[in-house]
Each structure stands twice: as structure tokens, then as C-alpha cells.
Structure 1
Amino acid sequence: MKRLFFFGFFLVSPQLFAGTEMNHLTWYGIIPALLAIFLAISTKQVVLSLLTGLISGSVIQSFLHESQSYFFGIDKVFDFYLLNSIANREHASILLFSFLIAGSIHIMTKMGAFNGLIQWLSKFAKSKRSALLITYFMGFFVFFDDYANTLVVGNTMQKITDRFKISREKLAFVVDATAAPIASIAFVSTWIGYEIQLIKDGLDSANYDSLDSAYGIFLNSVPYSFYPILMLIFVFILILTGKDFGSMKKFEAMPDQVLTSKVEIQKSIAAVWAIVPIILLLFVTLFGIYITGETKGGVINAIQTGNCYKGLLWGSGSCFFTVFFISVCTKNKVSENLNWMFEGFKSILPALTILILAWGLNGVLEDLKLGDYIGHIMSQSNVSFYIIPLITFILSSLVAFSTGSSFSTMGILIPIVISVCLSFKTTEYFEYSIFYASIASVLSGSVLGDHCSPISDTTVLSSMATGCNHINHVNSQLIYCLVAGGISVLLIFLHSILDLNLIVLYIIGGVLIWLIIKVLGGKKFNTTGK
């Protein structure tokens, strides 16, 4: 029946979209996004779901541009969208970075360095709670980039959390929940340059001369980034209470599943030989971002304007060659190291396949102007100034969930939101707190939608880095993200309508999180031992 449905869809596509031009925005872009998301959740076949969404989007696009395809758009799936996904310089950088990290981690594991690191960290990880707290605070340590954060923390903590029978789903959630939320609001990170440029573009398009710089406006908006901050509070309280609810409760109740991973403690060398490459990875990455930026404006300005992709490649490359050299010096043959390297590459191929397909789907959604269409609806709406932050948060969440990209969501909505807010500048209703909250709501909603979407690249990387089934990761963290998102909606409403103090709002948010976990949470885990 499903096959007949999809076949029928492709047959009627010419009649549905024939004669439609792309000189105006249409709703058609929502079809491939919803199709991919629905199939991914219902069938648990992520590759097939993403490919189906990509093909359907390309077919729709081909009938909107009839002259650009030879086989009803199916040819463009391979010779355009997937090819561009790999050929894109930034995407290729992430792929190479992932391969180098995977190869480094596998060599470190085989030569015994990771086992040494695990034994060293185990001195501090005495229980489930302490193991999860180490994972949590490591996320703050790798604050400057969400990709580096996910891959370093996820790979490092796998075996430690396995020892305490913490499910991979729980590990993936903690890693995912401390990656983008931290990088998105950190004063110095790979997100900042992009966010500041968008704010500047929005101010320029609105012809508004602000006394504050774009960076100053960003800093003023950070306290209103309710979702990232509440998610960090949520994870911390969840770990301290030792309770879970929703799908996560089921996964945590099946601890034996983590024992299926092959934990090899046959060989161990000093932990320093794992710590040195990881520190080098972080230092060279941060230094690379700094050196490629505008250093004359200071450290912060340099990192804001630096090339994060070059930094990631330099960092991962230095880490890989250092690990390879250490392994050879500890009397492992070059041929053994090469075999371990290829085994590491092979281990992440399934996850990178999903990542490439997600990029391809994002490309077709961009061509179908899905984000522009949703943004256009918002800009044409006659809304009250005080509810702009609330509408913005919900809308950016939906766009990020549908497209799987927080960056594209911010790129579409931040200039629009700034223009809409500044249109009230000459009225008595304008307030800077609402203006800052509106900008922050785009950022917060983008992170929420990114967390909930099965086609998000950061969600895929979290699954890959922690060795977790991707759909299990999405399903298990969804309820947690929605709880934090729901409380964010409440706080945005209370701030916009009642103008409550931010400290009071975060106290309310923290209390609500604690109450929800207390009421919905099941039997807590043993926090004092294994």
C-alpha cells in the first residue's frame, strides 16, 4: 500500500505543480520535509526516509522548473543535491573532520590510550550520577563549537557510561543537550560570527543606526535565550535527581543493552597519551579559528570572524598525526595503525550517509523556499509588538524542525524579525527588552527545532559520536526538549506580557523543571554506586 501511495504521488505530481513558477512563494516545500520526518519516525528507517523526502522534493522542484531536469527531478537527486552535499567546502570539512576524529579515537582505543583515560576518569566517576556529571561539565569545557563538542565528549564518555550501565540514549541526550545550547550563547564560539553578521544585516536592511554594535545587541539578547539556558538547567536537575520519564525511562530500565558494545580492556597505557591529543585538538582548533579571524580587533573579535572549518580541520589533523606518532612510538606497527584507522573510518560511514542525505534534503528545501515562505507569512501578519518573541520562538522551532538546520533558520528569520520589530520603533509600544527577546527567540527556537528534528546534522552527529541508534536518540530526547520548550514559551509569555524580572523567570523555570521531573520521573537510579 505504501509503495502504491508513493508511486501515485509521483504520477500526479505533474498535474499538481505544472505551470507553477517560483517567482512567488508556495507551500509545496512543506511536503518533502513532513514526508521525511513522518517516515523517519514511523518506519525507523532514516536513510530511506531522507531519500524519499529528497526525491519527492526534487520531483516537485523539477515541475516548478521543467527545463532543469531530464528524469522528473530524480536525476537531480544524485547529480546536484547529493553531489553538492559532498562538494560543498563546509560540508566536506565536516566529513573530513569526522573521519579524522573517528580514526584518531579508534587508534587511541586499540593502542590502549583510551582505556588508560577511562581508568583515570573512573577515579572521579564513582556512580551513574558522577559519570553523567563529568559528561555534562565536559560539554562546558568544549564550549566553542557544537560539532567538536559532540564528537569529543561523545566518543570519550562512551565506555565510562557503559561501565555504569547508562544507556547510549541517555548519553546521547546529555551530549546533544550540552552542545548547541552552550555554543549558541557562549560569548566566544563558532556561532557568534554568523549570528552577529545576521544581526548586522537585519539592522542594515531596516536602515537603522544602533548605538550598540551587533555584538552588543547579541550580548543583550543572551539573557532572553530561554530554551538553551533552561535545557542546561533541565539536564543538571535530571542528573542530580536520578530520574527519567518518557522513552528515556524505558531505555534506562534496560541496562543490559549497553553491554552489547565490545569494551576491550585488554591493553592499557598511560592516560596522558589520550589527554595530550585531545588537548591538542581543542587548542589547535581554537587557535586556528583565532588566527584566521581579524586579530587586530582582539581575541574575541578574531574568534567571531575566524574560519571555524579550517580550525576544525587543523585541530583534527594535528590530533590524528599525534595519535599515529604516539602509537608507533609505543611499538605498534604502521600497518596495524593503518588498519585501525580504516576501521575507525568504517565505523562512522552509516552516520555520515545520514548526514549527507540530510544536507541534500536541506538543499532541496532551500530551493523550494520553505523557510522564506514561512518567514513571509510572519512578516505579512498584523501582530502585536509584545507577542513577537512568542510567535518568533514557535515559528523558528517549526522551521528548524522542518529543515533540520538551525543556521538556515536563523539566516531566514533574524533579518525579518529585526525589521518587524524596528517597524514599531516610532510607536509608543517599542521596548528594547522585547526587541532583544525577539532576536533571542529566533536563536532559542532554532536550537529547539534542531534538537527535535531527526534530519538535523547535529542530532545525527550526537547519535554517531555516542554509538546510539539515531531514531532511539530522537524519540528519547523529544519529550525532554518539549518540556524545556514548553516552559520557555511560558517564560517568554510572562516576560512579554507581565514584564517579570529575568531572575524571577529563571527561578520559576527551574522550579517547574524540578516539579515535572519529580512528578513524571520514575524510580531514580542508584546514584551511590554502580
Structure 2
Amino acid sequence: MESYGIISLLPPLLAIILAWWSKQVVLSLFLGVFAGALITNAYNPLFAFMHTLDDYILASLADSWNAGIILFLLAMGGMIGIINKSGGIIAIGEYVAKKANSVVKTQFAAWLMGVLIFFDDYANTLIVGNTMRPITDKMKISREKLAFIVDLTAAAVSSIVPISTWIAFEVGVIKDGFDSLGLEMNAYGTFVQTIPYRFYSIFALGFALIIIFTAKDYGPMLKAEKRARSTGETLRPGSTPMVSQEMEEIEQPEGESFTFANSFLPIIGVILVTLIGLWYNGGGLEAGTSIRDAFGNADASIVLLWAAISGSFIAGILSFAKGILNISETVDGWIDGAKSMFIACLILVLAWSIGSITEDLGTANYLVSILEGNIIPEIVPLMIFIFSAFIAFTIGSSWGTVAIVMPLAIPLANSIGIPMLPTIAAVLTASVMGDHCSPISDTTIMSSTASAVDHMDHVSTQMPYALTVGLVAALFGFLPAGFGFSAVYLLPLGLVVLYLIVSIIGKKADEVI
């Protein structure tokens, strides 16, 4: 492959700098692709523009795998739209909220809702914040604490479960990285194998539980909780809470609506169709094919599309059969949900495009030539984690970060000979960490909005917690993982370290009043 030398770094660096400066990830990624096309087309802007559209953007959509992933995203969004329009979103929240009758149980209910609504981080954020806010106010729990639980669980869960709106994006980017190297590796199987190495995401979920059940806090969050308990002021005096306009779209339909059980039937259908479909598509009916081999051989883009469409049909038929929605309303709900996936689809297409342009420029080859012999290979997962977290913080987008870094991380890991799984996981989970710390992150803003708290109050109280989890993930996760230590040992070690940190420096709000 031809390498353009140091100039091959321009497209990804331009995307990073522009995203940081403009906060517009889609435009920044497009200009990154255009810059690469400019280089490969002798700096002719007209040819570069045309080839950006046809050789990269259109070509990425022409691939059957990519097309299947895009359709999966739209269908999943459509299914969620029908569930929402049928009152299922509210039904889920009300069921869980009934179990909350103490400070600890109320916070745990919010955490549990965040885990149960695993299929989409946006839906997660809006549902949990809006549903739990009146209950946390009643229990004198600060809005800052609610926003923390809402924000921490949303992306952490959606990014690691094998069934969510995230999986299409993550599997798609992983496959693109493998294809650029000519590797015959199963992207979906690799995604599943990276889950134990998502140290930040897993530690974040465990850390939230530690904070909840020890009833201890520290830093600005302790001050917020002390205020709420002692004065009943769940908001800081003088603060400007975010107004949740999006929540007005989550309304109870007139008459009968989905129950808690109804709401999860389409989701259960998606899970079952995915599992059975992976087995069938991967040759499960053939003699001598194990379940593991079948899952590894399956075309996940096709199976996920089967599952999402099946879930949409289940949700639609159920809402129509119960008399909640007529056919027109059901279709409208599906279309509204699919529309919500437009930006996700656009980012994914541009992610594939920037991956293709860095391949044509030989960016990974150039980086490898610089790094080989100049760094300790074993610390690359740690470096990738820190670098990706910084990018996510500066641009405020998990998906934008993955789109920028993954096309470089996979070839680098393959060429230097470092463990592939923790390297891929480092990109995926660091993007979540940077998102948690960034004041310009969409999910951070939505968490403030859904929880009706001052945005910067949310950022300032959550950041110390996210940095704590990130530090533990770096030192007790990715650093030893780069030297070959298994996640089986590192996960419990990291959770123990987090528990000790909270126990030593944390204090109960009731005790410091």
C-alpha cells in the first residue's frame, strides 16, 4: 500500500481539530474525508469533492454489510418509536418507580432503569431522568445525583450489550478496520469478546452501585447531597436548570396503553431472533457445527436486520391488537423513531468513509513505521485509552471518537503485535469516558435536560467520579491487559480498588450536615 508519509495524518487530525473547534462532528468528519480525497486527487478540489461523494460516501453505502447495518439502525429506532407512542416508555418507568421507598432504593431504581433500558442511550436518558425526577425530589436526592446516575448508566450499558442501537455502529467500524487489513475475522464475534475489556464502562456501572449502597460521596457531589438532605433544595440556589422539551414528546396515549410486560415483548423478540438467527445463519443446522462456531461464522448485519424488523412487527402488531394505535399511528410512530437514527446513520457512513481514506493514504502504515521500536508495545492499549478519552472530551461525541480513532488503532495493534481485544475495547470504552466528562456531549446535555438540573452543575459533580473510574480503568485495566493479564482477574481487582477509594475518601451526606 502506498504511504503518503506525514501528510497521511492530515485527514484524521483535521477531523479532530475541527470537531473540537466547531463542535460539529458530522461536518468535521466530512471535511476530513474531503481533505484525504484532496491529497489523493492531486489537490484538485473539484475532483476531490466528486470522489468524496462517490468513491467513499456512496461506496460505503453500496456494501451489503454496511447497508444491512444502516437498515438495522433505522428499524431499531422505529421499534422504539412504536413502543414510545404506545405508552411503553412511561409504563417501564412507572413500574420500576413503584419499588422506590428510600434514598438507597430510589437511587438503585434509577440505576436499574438505566440498565433495563439498554437498547438506546438517548431513550435511556430521557426515560430515567423524567420518570425518577419527582421521586428523587421527594426523597431529597439532589438533581446532580440523579443526572449522574442517568448519564453514567446510559452509554455505559448501551455500548456493551450485544443488542442495542450502538452495536451496529461498533461492529461496523470494527469490520471496516479488519477489511482494511484483509483480515478474515468476525466483527460481531470480536465485539462480544471485547466486552470483558470494556473496563471503564463496566467499572462505571459498578462504581455507581458502590456510591449508592455505601451512601457515600465526595467532591462537589457530596456538597450537593448535603444541601439536598439538610435543606430539601434538590437544585442549587441560583442555578439554571435545563428545560426538557424532548420530554414533552413522551406522552401517555389516551385510553389503553402498553404495560410493563408489553413494552419488553418486542425487545425480547429482538434478543431471541438475534440468538436464533446467528445460530441459523452461521450454519447451526449443519452437522458438527457448534453454537460458538455458528455465531462466529454468521453474518451479523443480516441477522440484526431480521431481529430489528421482527421487533418492529411485534411492537406494531401488539399496539394494533390492543387497540392502542391504529395502522396509521403505528406507522407514524415507526417513522418518527427511524428519523431519530438519522444522525447516527450519517456518522456511521462518514466513519466508514474516513476509514477508507486513511487506508488509501497509508496512515496506519506510517504510524506503525514511527512507533515500531520507539514505544513499549504493551502500553499501547493504555495510550489508546487515554488518547481516545481526550478526543471524546474535546469533541463531545463517543461515535465521532470511535470513527476517528478505530481506523488507526486496529492496524496499529495488528502491525506491532499487541493484544487486539483490549486495544479495540480501549477505543470503545474511552469514548464513553470522554463523553461523560465533556460539557458539550449530547448525552451529557440530555442528562441535564431530563433531570432538570443546571448543566454545569451536572458536569462539575460528575467529572471527579468519571475521572476516578477512568484512572482505575487505566492503571488496573488497560495497563496490565497490555501485558497479557486476563480481564477475569482485572475486573474484580478494579472494582475492589473503587470500593476502597469510596470507603476511604467518601462521606455520608447525613453525617456531614
Identify the TM-score tier after normalising by the shorter chain.
0.5 to 0.7
Q: Secondary structure at the match of 1:77?
A: helix
Match among 274, 279, 288 for residue 290 of structure 1:
279
**Residues 1:30 and 2:9 aligned together:** yes
* Cα deviation digits, residues 271-316 of structure 1 (max 9, x gap): 3322211211111122212211242432222223322222221111
Cα RMSD of the aligned pairs, angstroms, is 5.2
**Residues 1:54 and 2:47 aligned together:** no
Aligned counterparts, 1:350-499, within 5 A: 350-378=343-371, 380-381=372-373, 387-395=376-384, 398=387, 404-405=402-403, 408=407, 411-418=410-417, 438-451=419-432, 482-491=467-476, 495=480
Amino acid at match of 1:26: G
Contact (CA 8 Å) 1:108, 1:274: kept in 2 or not?
A: yes
Comparing 485-494 with 515-524, greater Cα deviation is found at 515-524
Comparing 442-451 with 314-323, greater Cα deviation is found at 442-451
Match among 108, 113, 126 for residue 130 of structure 1:
108
Give the match for residue 344 of structure 1.
Answer: 337
Contact (CA 8 Å) 1:193, 1:304: kept in 2 or not?
A: no
Give the match for residue 319 of structure 2.
Answer: 327
Match among 66, 77, 80 for residue 42 of structure 2:
66
What is the rounded CA distance, in whole Å, between the counterparts of 1:497 and 1:112 in structure 2?
47
**Residues 1:306 and 2:303 aligned together:** no
Alpha-carbon distance change, 390 to 482 in structure 1, aligned in 2, over 3 angstroms: farther
What is the rounded CA distance, in whole Å, between the counterparts of 1:303 and 1:460 in structure 2?
35
Q: Secondary structure at the match of 2:242?
A: helix
What is the rounded CA distance, in whole Å, between the counterparts of 2:386 and 2:377 in structure 1?
14
* Cα deviation digits, residues 67-112 of structure 1 (max 9, x gap): 9x66152223323333234334333333322222222222222233
Aligned counterparts, 1:218-237, within 5 A: 226-227=199-200, 229-237=202-210
**Residues 1:87 and 2:87 aligned together:** no
TM-score when normalising by structure 1:
0.65
Contact (CA 8 Å) 2:278, 2:295: kept in 1 or not?
A: yes
Give the match for residue 394 of structure 2.
Answer: none
Amino acid at match of 1:134: L
Amino acid at match of 2:108: S
Match among 97, 121, 139 for residue 72 of structure 2:
97
What is the rounded CA distance, in whole Å, between the counterparts of 1:111 and 1:222 in structure 2?
33
Alpha-carbon distance change, 403 to 339 in structure 1, aligned in 2, over 3 angstroms: closer
Amino acid at match of 2:252: I
Q: CA deviation at 1:503?
A: 8.9
Q: CA deviation at 1:327?
A: 2.1
Give the match for residue 264 of structure 1.
Answer: 251
Give the match for residue 230 of structure 2.
Answer: none
What is the rounded CA distance, in whole Å, between the counterparts of 1:483 and 1:448 in structure 2?
15
Give the match for residue 229 of structure 2.
Answer: none
Amino acid at match of 1:96: L
Alpha-carbon distance change, 24 to 252 in structure 1, aligned in 2, over 3 angstroms: farther
Q: Secondary structure at the match of 1:78?
A: helix
Alpha-carbon distance change, 335 to 237 in structure 1, aligned in 2, over 3 angstroms: same
Alpha-carbon distance change, 111 to 391 in structure 1, aligned in 2, over 3 angstroms: closer
Q: Secondary structure at the match of 1:23?
A: coil
* Cα deviation digits, residues 439-494 of structure 1 (max 9, x gap): 5542442234433567xxxx99978998989xx89988877655434333433698
Alpha-carbon distance change, 159 to 29 in structure 1, aligned in 2, over 3 angstroms: farther
What is the rounded CA distance, in whole Å, between the counterparts of 1:481 and 1:25 in structure 2?
38
Contact (CA 8 Å) 2:33, 2:353: kept in 1 or not?
A: no
Length, aligned pairs only: 448
Alpha-carbon distance change, 119 to 85 in structure 1, aligned in 2, over 3 angstroms: same
What is the rounded CA distance, in whole Å, between the counterparts of 2:481 and 2:268 in structure 1?
43
What is the rounded CA distance, in whole Å, between the counterparts of 1:298 and 1:162 in structure 2?
47
What is the rounded CA distance, in whole Å, between the counterparts of 2:442 and 2:278 in structure 1?
21
Give the match for residue 94 of structure 2.
Answer: 119
What is the rounded CA distance, in whole Å, between the counterparts of 1:518 and 1:138 in structure 2?
28
Q: Secondary structure at the match of 2:252?
A: coil
Comparing 514-523 with 297-306, greater Cα deviation is found at 514-523
Alpha-carbon distance change, 79 to 152 in structure 1, aligned in 2, over 3 angstroms: same
What is the rounded CA distance, in whole Å, between the counterparts of 1:363 and 1:111 in structure 2?
41
Give the match for residue 177 of structure 1.
Answer: 156
What is the rounded CA distance, in whole Å, between the counterparts of 1:375 and 1:452 in structure 2?
26
What is the rounded CA distance, in whole Å, between the counterparts of 1:32 and 1:520 in structure 2?
44
Q: Secondary structure at the match of 1:93?
A: helix
Give the match for residue 281 of structure 1.
Answer: 270
Alpha-carbon distance change, 334 to 475 in structure 1, aligned in 2, over 3 angstroms: same
Please list every run of 5 or more consecutive structure 2 residues that lacks an aligned counterpart in the other structure.
Answer: 137-142, 225-233, 392-399
